[in-house]
Structure 1
């Protein structure tokens, strides 16, 4: 650290000259260099930050003009050895020194200026060397961390160790991503963090700001910052703090860029492999498993096809939609890692995500699958715009090729599950969709639509005229298998009232509800009708996908 004027005046070599401050400003300004000269005009010799030593020759004719020239050249101060040219500092010079805030010091005994310059310059050069060494060591430390692909926590820990002070990494929402408390209590360091952080303005460069004088530096590419590093406690050397935080921020930004690029390349490779498997372009099981294992899929006795179907709120902003799609894929990959499983993942089209999951050893499979699906639901539920997601699970297989072929079934299951009432299940299999699955496949056939209309026409026309609940009564009656006692309890109406409603239904439809075949036919018609309830939304999504 550069010495101050006060530090230099305290040197023994200058103390022997009996220094006396006769005017000027603060003695705590830092001195960049010491310059010895008796010239009147030093404007072309000084660069700013110098302490000038003189025997006073320039003070003889025009002391005020001399001091004004020094101030204009940004000199830090003036030390005058009395006796050779002047016996005292002129009063007008002392007044000018006060006005210019330029410290002027008189030496009443002779001093060897060469000893002053040697000692001060030795200190300054040593300090500069120390700063260079610190910069080199800091650069090497964070370069090494970058090459090792260190985590954000490790980079923050390194910065805190270098500064011997707490360091915090936060995101744009003022949430703490990583921190190193050093000797400070964590509860004290992070107390009411979000409020304190919001009181500290965000800057696009390293600066000291806010009511607590935090030193902050942005993290991320210029104008694309995703967080900031904070040194929330005062640190003695601001320059070293700035340098350390900036090097740490560069390491964090580089790590994130490398991670994103690596993840993008890995995801592209996984998507390509799953597409080849689905299309049957790979016929050799050994080749398929070798390529999958090279992409991170752990070898297993069985593999499981999984499809995730996501319903989203529509948006005209294509950039926002694409970013949400990337976030959903990242969330699913994170859920897989959190569940301690491995999988190949792909996003074939908007709202669809396919996975080939490596099954854990026998005995833990169902629990692992349930854990995975629970994590997927939780991760996607935290993304804005996600309305609902369903997970379809196809049949497991000992061959990866067969599991890839099962993605068509898992996709069908996930799609059908979207039309089912939300029942709290985290995943659905073929046994969960059954007849609804068949109807989902054929519901667009005009003959199927004509069948449903013919079966329910009388009831639908009655509802159109009277807007009553007879269709809902019929639906509940069929769901309960014709159990009138249970139906009365569900609807919370008396049996005579229920019997009257059912009689009206029979009259409108011209059927006998006690006949098993009639109930089966009506149930199929109601399921077909229900399957079309969400058809406009799906059509809109299909249009967007196209």
Structure 2
């Protein structure tokens, strides 16, 4: 087998070797190991295929005898001499210049015996490199604890390559980002089965990846970026990754089960708060506090709904990280589709703070776009436990509206909606009735006549005359009542959308 010197030196176990001088692109076919002083070794060299000569004994002096060795090595087609120098010896300018003229590389190594073995393995046609890497991977996996990150670090140390854990689409879960968009597309196209794959990476090398099956949740990939490597090293690395993927998959399965338990706990807690109404029992409040949910606070609800396939449990960390990068410490609860979330304030946030938070949420949604395309709805500021439930419900209604609003980036904040749009969105939700009641409460407090007048006015298609006839009052009385209604509610009855929204609300309360 033939290999370039640079390829051999890229093997992890040889990366401490230092090429002092010489052409790294030189082709090598064999390895010679010799013991004894340079003068004795010179006499043993015979011409043959291009070779690396490994001096097993430390070189104590780079003198005339070493120069003779270089000349004899050049005649024998030895393209590099690997040696360990004693602490007080180093090739001088004369030795280096002679090596350059003779086209013999000088390679400083720390362990000549290990270097010789590694070079022999890489140039041989045996499976020794693959067996060695697979054995190391198995041993590292056995010694690692249950944590996925610790397991990856141990495997990296054993295999001598940086590792990355990728999700099914090629995005990085742990480790360095190794694939660009084109590489991720190739990985997806190459991953129909469970066989290991090789795809170009973002740095011009290639990525070797083995499928990680967990039995639950989506598949992942254990990958190593290999900038330069021998075919035997790559084959061995693939085998080692397949071995390591079993251990990583087992730990991912355990982590997934723990995540599912936590998700179920969060979902149940939020459902119980919804059912408790305005006064959650002390035990429920204590559980919420232990979960890190401050109930005696001001809240802004957020609803995040994926516009495509998503895994709310696995991708919850993406949501938290995206919003955290924008300065928003949110609470997030997995739902059947997407996430219910909120941010909390110790005191009522100012208008400026609310606008800043809304802008941060929009930027967080944009940051997520490469991973998860979403509809995002944001509720109004509400206080207390019941306010938390209310604002999360508002956010869900806003997210429903956002699904049909590409012009807003599929992002809708309740505070920016008009009255009619908001009520139209709420007609199919559990929060519609209390919203309608709150909207029309000023009319009810005014004695009830205004609410009755409004209902008939809207039922007759905004006819003052018909309303007066039904109520058996003068038209001017109807007009005066309508003016009072507009003043109390802060609405314009000349607007058809406003009339529709009020009509829906008044019919709901009848």
Q: Which bin holds the TM-score, normalised by the shorter protein?
A: 0.3 to 0.5
Max Rg structure: 1
Query: How high is the TM-score relative to the length of structure 1?
Result: 0.44
TM-score (norm 2): 0.46
